[in-house]
Amino acid sequence: MQIQKIVSETKQKGKVIIRTDKLCKYYGKDIKAVDELDLEVFEGETFGLLGPNGAGKTTTVRLLNCILKPTSGTADVNGYNITENSTKVKTITGLLAESPGLYEKLSAYEFLEFMGALYNIKGTILKERIEELLSLFGLTDRKDYLLEGFSSGMKQKVLIAAALINDPSIIFFDEPTAALDPRAAHMVKDLIKGLADQLGRTVVICSHILPIVEELCDRIGIINQGRLIAVGTVDEIIAQAGTDTLEEAFIALTGGVDEKELLAWRDHS
Ligand SMILES: Nc1ncnc2c1ncn2[C@@H]1O[C@H](COP(=O)(O)OP(=O)(O)O)[C@@H](O)[C@H]1O
Ligand SMILES: [Mg+2]
């Protein structure tokens, strides 16, 4: 099937809070991780960046959080340019990374204190923020316990709390449930939903897992080989791909199942 660019026709009234303009990131000469990406995210929405492994989701999020510099093209986050105003961008974004570092010999409280210090948040403001986050995530009773004794779900909660320490207006979650068991994944999903609904934050979720994106996101962008190939609500993407489900649309748009994947599967059977 010919890959078509699908553009959402939904009339969005909100202001554009993230805009990328032909954003590119190459690793060396050959790997085009992000390739002329044009993307808009609206204030207050939950936007899902969906794509197969290696599609460029993590690279995109790292560019938008100023961890990486673009090869060419650019992006604005709440009006701040990612290259010219990276310090400003960092103060208004929070990121739950795909493979985050966690200092296991610190208590939950100490870890959040440390993360606060990285943002130069100090004194009473930091104390109050930490207490608020611990309470929000039901971690107050465990705040002085070392993280090494926490379950993976609880660790993820602490990491999400850490991503919120600077009270960001945009929060990025990179594969927030991929490494969790179903119970913990469910808990994290509810937590993200709460942040989006109750706190009214702009949320960007990267995932290759369809149900989480389908359930949580107002709009989805499908990315493949560094390029945005579809964007819209679930219904819009399904309608425009001419399929019955998002899964079928995803497979059709990302070029079907690779023949090599089928052969690998046969080899192992
Ligand atoms: N540090 C790196 N050096 C070289 N290649 C990289 C690096 N990080 C990612 N890539 C490559 O860039 C492409 C996009 O990767 P990534 O952004 O991690 O995708 P995703 O998050 O969608 O799985 C892949 O081909 C990946 O192998
Ligand atoms: Mg990734």
Exposed e or buried b for every residue in 3-25, given b needs 16+ CB within 10 A? eeebebeeeeeeeebbbbeebbb
Position 30 scores a pLDDT of 87
User: Looking at ligand 1, which residue's alpha carbon is closest to its atom 1?
Assistant: 27
Which ligand 1 atom sits nearest the alpha carbon of residue 226? Answer: 14
Which residues are within 5 Å of ligand 2 (an ion), measured at CB?
57-58, 98
Whole-number Å distance between alpha carbons of 35 and 41: 18
Position 258 scores a pLDDT of 55
What's the 236 CA to ligand 2 centre distance in angstroms?
25
Pocket of ligand 1 (CB under 6 A): 27, 31, 33, 51, 53-59
Question: Quick one: which ligand is closest to 55's CA?
Answer: 1
Q: How far is CA 136 from CA 48, 125, 131, 194, 248, in A?
A: 24, 16, 8, 10, 37
Residues 6 or more apart whose Cβ sits within 8 Å of residue 224:
3, 51, 52, 55, 253, 254, 255
Cβ neighbourhood burial of 115 (10 Å; 0-12, 13-18, 19+): buried
pLDDT by residue (tens digit) across 10-47? 445 589 999 999 999 999 988 999 999 999 999 999 99
Whole-number Å distance between alpha carbons of 216 and 64: 21
Question: Quick one: which ligand is closest to 176's CA?
Answer: 2
Provide the whole-model pTM.
Answer: 0.90
- Give CATH superfamily name and number for 16-100+168-268: P-loop containing nucleotide triphosphate hydrolases (3.40.50.300)
pLDDT by residue (tens digit) across 171-192? 999 999 988 888 889 988 998 9
Residue 37, φ and ψ in degrees, nearest 5 = -80, 125
Q: How far is CA 145 from CA 101, 111, 134, in A?
A: 18, 11, 13
pLDDT by residue (tens digit) across 199-214? 889 999 999 989 899 9
